[in-house]
Amino acid sequence: MIRYGSLIEGMERHLPDSIRRRLPPALDQWFFLKSADLWFPRYGIPTYGSGQAADMDLTFHAPAKYPLASSGRLVDSRVEGDVRTTHWVTERPAFVASFNVGPFTEYQITDPRIPPVTVHVNREAHIHLGALLLGQRDPDQIVGADVANSLAFFTRVFGPPLFKHYYATEIPYGHGQAFPGLIHLSWWTFRSFEENGIHEMFRAHEMAHQWWGIGVEPATYRDAWLSEGFADFAGLWYMQLVLNDNEKFFKHLKDWRRDIRARRGDALPTGLGVRVAEIQPRDYQVMVYEKGAWVLQMLRNLMLDFRTMKEDAFSDVMRDFYGQYRGRRATTRDFQRVVERHIDVPMDWFFDEWLNGTAIPTYILAWRAEPTPEHRYALHIRIRQEDVPRDFVMPVPIAIELAGGEHAYVRVNVRGPVTEATLQLPAEPTALELNPLESVLADVKTEGWD
Ligand SMILES: [Zn+2]
């Protein structure tokens, strides 16, 4: 089940159901927080755009043998007898804060690319389960690598993060959650049994919230995708560009497309944000996280230079948006304006179709080619469009393979039930791929010309 309060607060990502409910080994060796985000004085449930951000001054008294990490900057730490008293102050108003404490081993990550990171891992409990006997890497190394590498990657592509020190700390639950300068990570991710990339992306997702959700805060409940969709996309991007795993990158995009398509027609639109969680809780992850990530993937490929395969235009948009709203709140419209400034095209149609609508197009491609008198080829393309309103429009790329092995890319503006185009080519086309590189959230089929 989903913990409703936390879900509304956001910046939480669950591992799959099969993992979510698993309790960690050696239950008596863990500290269970009663609440990660509803423990401090506040009005109601902290949520995006609730206007309840506050400066926080936090003092903890805890057994000296248990490392503690909190949101905010550590300004004082002293030990008297068995008790350590630590004092933390948030560096800017925060709408949510948390901490964690337990029988942890503490590791410091020092890497010239990033601010210092402290990792708290329940090493004893993992030894209890025999992780080290199985010859796995140490749990702190498994997690530390993604924490450091994603922090470095996001600093490079988005810009400098807000804080000067980060804590990544283990919790005995099946989810992760981000707070200013602090991330909670499921105990399960310190074990990394799965080989499908979910853990790497999960850890990068939580780290990405230091940019999306905390660095730039969604201004209203409708803008939740600026946090969760952006963080999910960041995890995917990390998988593709840093871990260099195209296979897992495309696999997750396809899995998410299947989830989204399965709910079209019934699910509420991504642009309703937190309302989706209130009305249809089970759709929140699909429509706000996964479809939100797909919206960025579509924007990225819309801006991709197919001649050079460079995506600088998209990275510039992301860095510019972050830079402009760093430490502030932003709406979807603010993001749209940054995109429009970069590409100089009105984008209402794009945000309207993909964030306010739930329709997912099906494209059916047919083509034929014939030689022309000038020793060239005329390529006739027909794309039928189904499952969307008549005025639904989207530029869709086509990869054309030419005799001789060369590739050409074109973008066709698909609009209405039938779109037709004729292209002049220097050589005979031998194969066509509609929607290469998972550029549009769509289903693609082919049919004969007649
Ligand atoms: Zn999240």
Q: pLDDT value at position 4?
A: 33
What SS3 class is residue 26? coil
Percent of the chain with pLDDT over 70: 95
For residues 286-301, average pLDDT? 97
**Ligand 1 centre and the CA of 20: distance in Å?**
15
Q: pLDDT value at position 95?
A: 84
**Ligand 1 centre and the CA of 394: distance in Å?**
28
**Ligand 1 centre and the CA of 7: distance in Å?**
9
pLDDT tens-place string over residues 75-109: 999 999 999 999 999 998 888 899 999 999 999 99
**Ligand 1 centre and the CA of 397: distance in Å?**
31
pLDDT tens-place string over residues 8-58: 445 677 777 777 777 787 788 889 988 888 888 887 777 777 767 889 999
Q: Which helix (H) or strand (E) element contains residue 118?
A: strand 117-121
pLDDT tens-place string over residues 326-375: 999 999 999 999 999 999 999 999 999 999 999 999 999 999 999 999 88
pLDDT tens-place string over residues 385-425: 999 999 999 999 999 999 989 999 999 999 999 999 999 99
**Ligand 1 centre and the CA of 41: distance in Å?**
23
**Ligand 1 centre and the CA of 410: distance in Å?**
35
**Ligand 1 centre and the CA of 309: distance in Å?**
29
Estimate to the nearest angstrom the gap between the alpha carbon of 254 and the chain centroid.
Answer: 15
**Ligand 1 centre and the CA of 286: distance in Å?**
12
Residue 17 identity: D
Model confidence band, residue 6 (pLDDT cutoffs 50, 70, 90): very low
**Ligand 1 centre and the CA of 355: distance in Å?**
18
**Ligand 1 centre and the CA of 13: distance in Å?**
5
Contact 258, 269 (CB under 8 A): no
User: For residue 15, is it left (φ>0), alpha (ψ between -120 and 50) or beta?
Assistant: beta
SS3 letters across 173-217: CCEEEEECCEEEEEHHHHCCCCCCCHHHHHHHHHHHCCCECCCEE
**Ligand 1 centre and the CA of 134: distance in Å?**
31
**Mean pLDDT, all residues of the chain:** 91
Q: pLDDT value at position 350?
A: 98
**Ligand 1 centre and the CA of 353: distance in Å?**
24
pLDDT tens-place string over residues 188-201: 888 866 789 999 99
Residue linked to tokens 């944000």: 273
Q: pLDDT value at position 124?
A: 86
Q: pLDDT value at position 211?
A: 98
pTM, rounded to two decimals: 0.94
More confident residue, 72 or 264: 72
Q: Where are the beta strands (DSSP E) in 315-417?
A: 328-330, 362-371, 377-386, 393-402, 407-415
Q: Which helix (H) or strand (E) element contains residue 262?
A: helix 246-263
Q: pLDDT value at position 38?
A: 84
**Ligand 1 centre and the CA of 369: distance in Å?**
48
**Ligand 1 centre and the CA of 11: distance in Å?**
3
Residue linked to tokens 């850890």: 203
Percent of the chain as helix, strand, coil, to the nearest 5: 35, 30, 35
**Ligand 1 centre and the CA of 403: distance in Å?**
46
